[in-house]
Chains A and B, each alone.
Chain A
Amino acid sequence: MRTPAILSVLGEDRVGIVASVSRVLAESQANIEDIRQSIIGGIFSMTMLVTVDEETTPFDQMQKSLAQISEELGLQITLQREDVFRYMHRI
């Protein structure tokens, strides 16, 4: 089952954030469909639309992998199913 999800990353800018996040996604066979990124006042902010292949990597397993790099990089990383945003912000 391919599940659309929103990945958001927020924290102090540093070398290797995109690389680290992308590596976890690639290893989990998650595809990046869209990406937006900005740095304002040294704060790195990135949102990605990804599709998670739950047959390869269960959703909770992906969240655990991301939680690990979140700790390593000192960033706030969240992965949420996309429909929560669709439900809350679209009629």
Chain B
Amino acid sequence: MRIDPEEIVETLLMVQQQRFDIRTVTLGLSLRGCAHEDIDVAAARVYERVTQAARNLVPVAEAIAAEYGIPIVNKRISVTPIAELAAVCNAEDVSPFAIALDRAAHEVGVDFIGGFSALVQKGMGDGDRRLIASIPAALAATERVCASVNVATTRAGINMDAVLLMAQTMKATAEATKDRDCIGCAKLVIFANMVEDNPFMAGAVHGTGEPDEVINVGISGPGVVRAVVDALPKDADLTAVAEAIKGTAFKITRAGELVAREAAKRLGVTMGIVDLSLAPTPAEGDSVAAIIEAMGVGQCGGPGTTAALALLNDAVKKGGAMGTSSTGGLSGAFIPVSEDANMIAAARSGALTIEKLEAMTAVCSVGLDMIAIPGDTTAETIAGIIADECAIGVVNSKTTAVRLIPACGKGVGDHVSFGGLLGEAPVMPVNQFAGTVFAHRGGRLPAPLQSLKN
């Protein structure tokens, strides 16, 4: 037989016991043809475009999952940053675009649709301003729409006016959805060095350098990696650990590559990228923190965590890069607290703090993700956290992001719960020494030198 029975059993075990799945098949769609100065006309065009182009996405993804025996957890759509359409129309409130996207998402059966977004790293156009002002209402009025705003890049530096505005927008979004544990903030992410082909939410957009329609795939598989690390002898050195993770990342990525090729072929669109990211879910065992703990760190967040995560992230990329020539998106291990059972436990026990998470984001993808903070945290404090995270991304030429949930009416010891992939998060303490001056200075934090790299 061309395939060894052991390989067949290994593949079956990966799916059945170690929760291997493809996290998302994301259809990227250009909406640039939908622009119109009348927002109602433009929104109707958006609905029409999305429902037509994506009508076969869910059935095709489901058929591929069944035929290959690998679950595809989410089907998603990313669209042109809506600020581009907002710029053409003159409506002050551009949330009708979000409502049209949400209706279209329900119609075609996708789990999320991303792209209620703007890129303002160097400055803010009037369309960008109106889009950002509409975010709280848009996320309160919709279920599946995700919003993102890029406030910094390595080439432009950090737009500190946008950082403060986004901190205020985050608080307003929490307030607008406080009856649902502030879930709007779970669908709002603030980026440095946003990528234009990311299949993962909440930050997926369809960038201007992309074709009209494209399929991007995000892999998953922390459970598989953990099982491989667990199976190593306890005295295996870290070179052996890296080698084992690399081999597994290759297999996971190949499955993603196959799904991406097949989905693109069946939908008649371009195949874009495979995002080599280990994305956890709240399910037991499907945890990035559990991999760090399997490597031997007492509990995620303890000393050794950043080094272990750096090893993991690097090995996933090395193995994954052998598995596909179409690497893209965010590509790295995710550390969303609410979506990872062992991170939730580490946050509850005090092993994991926001400061440690910030350090971890220097060596992995993507940022301070799905962290609940006290509802009375000031906008100035949140702006400081966003600026710090952006600085890590800008200086290190990598993507970083902030997705915090200021939990209205709640404090440390409480928790927020969203269910599904978004999970639940304990409210974590925030450093109280941000002051009130730094966030209000505004201006642009200059782009860093790209030489003299020490």
Contacts and interface: CB of A to CB of B under 8 A. Distances in A.
Interface of A: 6, 8, 10, 34, 36, 45, 47, 49, 59-60, 63, 78-89, 91
A89 B3 contact: yes
A57 to B, nearest CB: 13
Interface of B: 1-5, 7-12, 63, 66-70, 250-251, 254-255, 257-258, 322
Nearest to A85: B3
20 contacts: A6-B8, A8-B9, A34-B1, A34-B2, A45-B5, A49-B2, A49-B3, A60-B67, A78-B69, A79-B69, A80-B67, A81-B67, A82-B2, A83-B258, A84-B11, A86-B3, A87-B254, A87-B257, A89-B4, A89-B11
Shortest 9 CB-CB contacts between residues of A and residues of B: A80-B69, A34-B1, A87-B254, A88-B251, A84-B68, A85-B3, A89-B7, A87-B258, A88-B254
B8 A59 contact: no
Q: Give the secondary structure class of B's interface.
A: helix
Nearest to A89: B7
A8 B1 contact: no
Given A87-B258, A88-B254, A60 B66 contact: yes
A55 B66 CA distance: 18
A83 B258 CA distance: 8
B8 A8 contact: yes
Contacts of B5: 36, 45, 47
Given A6-B3, A79-B69, 14 more contacts: A47-B5, A47-B8, A49-B1, A49-B2, A49-B3, A59-B67, A82-B3, A84-B11, A84-B68, A84-B258, A88-B11, A88-B255, A89-B3, A89-B4
Nearest to B259: A84
A20 B5 CA distance: 21
Contacts of B254: 87-88
Contacts of A91: 250, 322
Contacts of A47: 1, 5, 8
B249 to A, nearest CB: 11
Nearest to B68: A84
A81 B68 contact: yes
B377 to A, nearest CB: 45
A85 B11 contact: yes
A36 B258 contact: no
A48 B446 CA distance: 62
B293 to A, nearest CB: 26
B274 to A, nearest CB: 12
A82 B3 CA distance: 9
Given A8-B12, A78-B12, A84 B1 contact: no
Nearest to A3: B67
A84 B2 contact: no
Contacts of A83: 258
A86 B8 CA distance: 10
Contacts of A36: 1, 5
A19 B186 CA distance: 53
A88 B3 CA distance: 11
A91 B10 CA distance: 17
Contacts of A10: 12
Contacts of B8: 6, 8, 47, 85
A10 B9 CA distance: 10
B254 to A, nearest CB: 4
Contacts of B9: 8, 45
A84 B7 contact: no
Nearest to A38: B5
A89 B247 CA distance: 10
A80 to B, nearest CB: 4
A84 B12 contact: no
Contacts of A81: 67-68
Contacts of A84: 11, 68-70, 255, 258
Contacts of A45: 5, 9
Contacts of A87: 254-255, 257-258
Contacts of B67: 59-60, 63, 80-81
Contacts of A80: 67-69
A82 B255 CA distance: 12
Contacts of A49: 1-3
B422 to A, nearest CB: 29
Contacts of B63: 60
Interface centre among B2, B63, B257 (most CB of A within 10 A): B2
A40 B3 CA distance: 21
A86 B2 contact: yes
Nearest to B4: A89
A45 B7 CA distance: 14
Contacts of B10: 89
Nearest to A48: B1
Contacts of A86: 2-3
